[in-house]
Structure 1
Amino acid sequence: MSSITDVAGIEVGHFTDPRRPTGCTVVITREGAVGGVDVRGAAPGTRETDLLSPTNLVEQVHAVVLSGGSAWGLDAASGAMRWLDEHGIGLQVAKGRVPIVPAAVLFDLYMGDPSIRPDANAGYAACAAASKQPPQEGCVGAGTGAIVGKIFGMDRAMKGGIGSASVTAHGITVGALIACNALGDVIDPATGQVVAGARADDGKSLLNTQQAMVRGDPHKRIIPGSNTTIGVVATDAVLTKPQASRLATVGHDGLARAINPAHTMFDGDTLFALATGKAGKPLDMLTLSAMAAEAVAQAVLRAVRAATSLDFDGLKLPAARDFAARQ
């Protein structure tokens, strides 16, 4: 199974809260990685994104945290910093070190007690669970409470999740890890078919949100910031900081291929990029861009295909596998 951990120097860990559907995920680069970011959605929840600007000083990132819990989930990054510091990982400054840990969150407060959300202890636990093994996919970590296809109401939505994929060419690997909590549908780019998203009135078939909106079907009132797809694109190629920023940007092409609509006013879509340089060589950005978009699109698909149905707090959400079983 291909995953972001196929990229040398990358480890992934999840924390899943058993009390309600929420959690967080951490991507660790123990030796540091050149970082970039592109915040494309209009309702983001992020931390430490400004320092990733190509014009700013710090280049090395030591971890990225993806979390549920809306803005509350940003606290998970503090726990990741504590774990990294305890393990001697971080930017050396004077007599101590400062781990550089950017983060992004998604909204998953629809179900259960909203005071239960990922905190610093959750981020610490995700780090403690990190490994080089392919990460678990579906309803775990930051994807635990993810939901897709909410434009026509929660009662017609489906379960989202977290997924990962990688692509290798010319001795270079590009991997992606995506937590998909999109407002829109998830599409298989190879067929153009909806895999998960808004369901028809009877709840037994997929609607196709794009077609429904174009013909004028009225959507439900949408809570601002209540969606968002977040993730990390990583490569073992040698990249400069501006190139890492570009890799994050082109990764959004993969979101646009696999999610429709994407980057809405109600999504906070954010992608981070990490370049570990472990391959010891660069690769032209045109090829890297194609690889990044493909890895992101495949990770989105795997996020919903690995998800399982949810029946919690009065809300029943089927998963893509439930519809596939009927075909």
Structure 2
Amino acid sequence: MLRMNQLSSSEAGSITRVAGIEVGHFTDPRRPTGCTVVLARGGAVGGVDVRGAAPGTRETDLLEPGNLVEQVHAVLLTGGSAWGLDAASGVMRWLEEQGIGYDVGVGRVPLVPAAVLFDLPVGDMRIRPDAAAGYAACAAACALDPPEGNVGAGAGATVGKLFGLARAMKGGVGTASITVDGVTVGALIACNALGDVLDPGSAQILAGARTPDGRHLQDTLRTLLQGALHQPPLGGSNTTIGVVATDAPLTKAQARRLALTAHDGLARCIYPVHTPFDGDTLFALGTGLAGKSLDMLTLCTLAAEATARATVRAVLAAQALTIADLHLPCARDLCA
């Protein structure tokens, strides 16, 4: 089985290899937080699936298959908890300036679904993404492979927090893509999970909760199965969010299915996942620019696999962070 931690960034690919998709990050230099925008300037059929019990989202209802609007123009992933949703206003302003949006006769309304993760304990919580941050992420967007790790929505991300933040490790942003018969499926994940992150090919824990001395990995799953007590997490204080995209044409129902099955990729490499304390949310986009399609079974298989690879990339690309008295090592520190 493929060991994802052995994939180079060029081998892993990225979501921007999907025709019609661009990515931009804004990382706040005042503290580790930020936002990431996935742009579809020409519009993309969208879907969403929320599995965590503590989500923070915007404009997800319009993605329901039975609702009117067919396409969206961007998806925002952001830190800052609920305050971070303000960054979507900046994304809308930038898109409006480009003449991009849903035609309502008197103008165009950009449609920007969004999801947040909780990074407030890392640094000064009064600093969080706002409309200017969302605008800056759009201005930085391009079709090149995007930076990974401590950037954008992953700047303040952490993983392995079941035993407290002091025993956690650094999370981040990761991306990957797979192309089959001229059709590409890619994913971009901001991993801020309560649980540990594993390589599903080898079952090796890459990053997660550490032992009390901080030098080794605790193995959250094994510890929970042994009935060990843990520190009760704060609801919504975690969350992995992301986007899976394809250049195959999709209906809204198919986009919803793609988002749903992409969560299988999270389940392969995050333990525990979709907890009462995570707001795990994945969006799906279909640009239709490949000019051809694959059957839905293959598309869903690629979506789950790309999501798993991107999640692994998120922790492998992360760098250690020390802020005040909090030290968050990265995967390379404990898995070397």
TM category (shorter chain) comes to: over 0.9
- Give how far 1:5 is off: 0.3
Counterpart CA distance in 2 for 1:119 and 1:141 is 13
Q: Which amino acid aligns with 1:224?
A: G
1:236 corresponds in structure 2 to 247
Residue 98 (1) aligns with residue 109 (2): yes
Q: TM-score, normalised by structure 1?
A: 0.98
Indicate the SS of the match to 2:260. Answer: helix
The equivalences for 1:141-156 within 5 A come to: 141-156=152-167
2:261 corresponds in structure 1 to 250
Residue 318 (1) aligns with residue 329 (2): yes
Is the 1:76–1:118 contact (alpha carbons within 8 Å) kept by the matching residues of 2? yes
1:27 corresponds in structure 2 to 38
- Give how far 1:323 is off: 1.6
1:36 corresponds in structure 2 to 47
Q: TM-score, normalised by structure 2?
A: 0.96
Counterpart CA distance in 1 for 2:335 and 2:212 is 19
2:138 corresponds in structure 1 to 127
- Give how far 1:321 is off: 1.1
Is the 1:164–1:177 contact (alpha carbons within 8 Å) kept by the matching residues of 2? yes
2:235 corresponds in structure 1 to 224
Unaligned stretches of 5+ in structure 2?
Answer: 1-9
Residue correspondences, number? 325
The equivalences for 1:1-327 within 5 A come to: 1=10, 2-325=13-336
Counterpart CA distance in 2 for 1:221 and 1:213 is 13
- Give how far 1:217 is off: 1.2
- Give how far 1:70 is off: 0.1
Counterpart CA distance in 2 for 1:193 and 1:315 is 25
Note the alpha carbon deviations across 1:178-226, whole angstroms, 9 max, x for none: 0000000001000111110001122111111000000011110211100
Indicate the SS of the match to 2:334. Answer: helix
Counterpart CA distance in 1 for 2:82 and 2:202 is 36
- Give how far 1:313 is off: 2.2
Counterpart CA distance in 2 for 1:182 and 1:120 is 25
Counterpart CA distance in 1 for 2:82 and 2:28 is 17
Note the alpha carbon deviations across 1:60-79, whole angstroms, 9 max, x for none: 11000000000000010000
Q: Which amino acid aligns with 1:66?
A: L
Counterpart CA distance in 2 for 1:95 and 1:157 is 50
Residue identity (%): 70
Q: Which amino acid aligns with 2:188?
A: L
Unaligned stretches of 5+ in structure 1?
Answer: none
Indicate the SS of the match to 1:110. Answer: coil
Is the 1:27–1:63 contact (alpha carbons within 8 Å) kept by the matching residues of 2? yes
Q: CA RMSD in A?
A: 0.7
- Give how far 1:278 is off: 0.5
Is the 1:111–1:313 contact (alpha carbons within 8 Å) kept by the matching residues of 2? no
Indicate the SS of the match to 1:64. Answer: strand
Q: Which amino acid aligns with 1:305?
A: L
Counterpart CA distance in 2 for 1:243 and 1:299 is 21
Note the alpha carbon deviations across 1:15-64, whole angstroms, 9 max, x for none: 00011110000000000000000011000000000000001011111000
Indicate the SS of the match to 1:62. Answer: strand
Indicate the SS of the match to 1:127. Answer: helix
